[in-house]
């Protein structure tokens, strides 16, 4: 029997909804074992609720406010061979999910604010934050792995971390490489002029990027105050047409946000009307569609 939701587009397979989850946590600075245990419990809960992609916050295994480079170096781990990576990879395999988790990475003497990407068949890759914020510049190297896009059963998956979201080029290049979903581990801090109950600048940026690129953007933030630094929480999932499909979460509680994503509808939704498509309408005669990156152009 034909799937009624396929409508007249019988030439395309019908894609079921996929549930994606953002896990908002409250890490304990420096307590990797406790942070792993808590993240494991919340990931298991998200998977039990049907999530096939789970996103954790930035630096979810260590906390964020390092007192010194020595402390950061002592807490950092190699990826994917370190204990945090191995625990998360095994969890993704056991639960049959895809997992994106912020991690403090050590590669030789260099440190990176990174995210590990794992799936049902194990380790998929690493993303390293391109744009460092504040004192991160004292501890981390800027990312050197570019903007990889991972092919998965739930669609093409990309990653950005926190301040990366302030740069529209990041989302554009991911979308032009064919990304469907961008997982954003983040540790949002209040921006100048931002009030506790007012709009969050990060929300506006994620919503705008989702709409202008036809991407689902899943932002998993943390909560709490760490060594005097407050974090805003309010994790959010913006659907591929820019509308909020889950959240914002609270500003001070651990939570799991879950939203349904339909790959077929999302890709078709980039066609705004009979004339306009958010990616194909780009003026390649005026500017380089791939921004000089050299990445392959695979946008749909």
**Which residues belong to the active site?**
58, 129, 162
Residues 6+ apart with CB under 8 A from 210: 216, 217, 238, 239, 240, 241, 242
**Secondary structure (3-state) at 213:** helix
Give the three-class secondary structure for 136: helix
How many helices and strands in the chain, by DSSP H and E?
A: 7, 14
**What is the secondary structure of 50-108 as a DSSP string?**
T-SEEE--TTTTT-S--SSHHHHHHH-B-TTTSHHHHHHHHHHHHHT-EEEEEEEEEET
CA atoms within 13 A on the CB side of 209: 32
CB atoms under 10 Å from CB of 153, counted, come to: 10
Rama region for 121: left / alpha / beta (φ>0; ψ in -120 to 50; rest): alpha
**Partners of 24 in the β-ladder:** 255
Tokens standing for 84?
């945090």
Compute the distance between CA of residue 45 and CA of residue 55 in angstroms, rounded to an integer: 13
């Amino acid at each position: 029997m034909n799937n009624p939701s396929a409508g007249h587009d019988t030439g395309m397979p019908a894609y079921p909804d996929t549930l994606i989850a953002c896990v908002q946590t409250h890490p304990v600075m420096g307590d990797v074992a406790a942070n792993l245990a808590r993240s494991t419990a919340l990931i298991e809960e998200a998977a039990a609720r049907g999530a096939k992609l789970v996103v954790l916050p930035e630096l979810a295994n260590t906390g964020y406010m390092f007192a010194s480079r020595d402390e950061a170096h002592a807490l950092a781990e190699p990826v994917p061979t370190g204990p945090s990576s191995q625990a998360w990879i095994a969890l993704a395999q056991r639960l049959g999910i895809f997992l994106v988790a912020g991690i403090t990475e050590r590669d030789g003497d260099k440190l990176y604010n990174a995210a590990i990407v794992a799936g049902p068949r194990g380790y998929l890759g690493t993303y390293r934050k391109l744009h460092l914020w504040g004192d991160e510049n004292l501890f981390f190297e800027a990312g050197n792995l570019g903007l990889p896009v991972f092919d998965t059963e739930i669609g093409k998956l990309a990653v950005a971390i926190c301040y990366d979201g302030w740069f529209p080029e990041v989302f554009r290049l991911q979308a032009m490489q064919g990304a469907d979903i961008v997982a954003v581990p983040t540790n949002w801090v209040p921006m100048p002029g931002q009030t506790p109950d007012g709009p969050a600048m990060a929300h506006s940026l994620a919503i705008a990027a989702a709409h202008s690129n036809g991407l689902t953007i899943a932002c998993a933030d943390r909560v709490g105050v760490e060594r005097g630094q407050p974090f805003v929480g309010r994790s959010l999932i913006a659907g591929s047409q820019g509308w909020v499909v889950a959240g914002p979460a609270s500003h001070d509680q651990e939570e799991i946000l879950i939203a349904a994503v339909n790959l077929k509808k999302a890709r078709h939704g980039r066609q705004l009307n009979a004339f306009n498509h958010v990616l194909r309408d780009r003026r390649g005669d005026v500017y380089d569609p791939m921004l000089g990156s050299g990445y392959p152009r695979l946008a749909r």
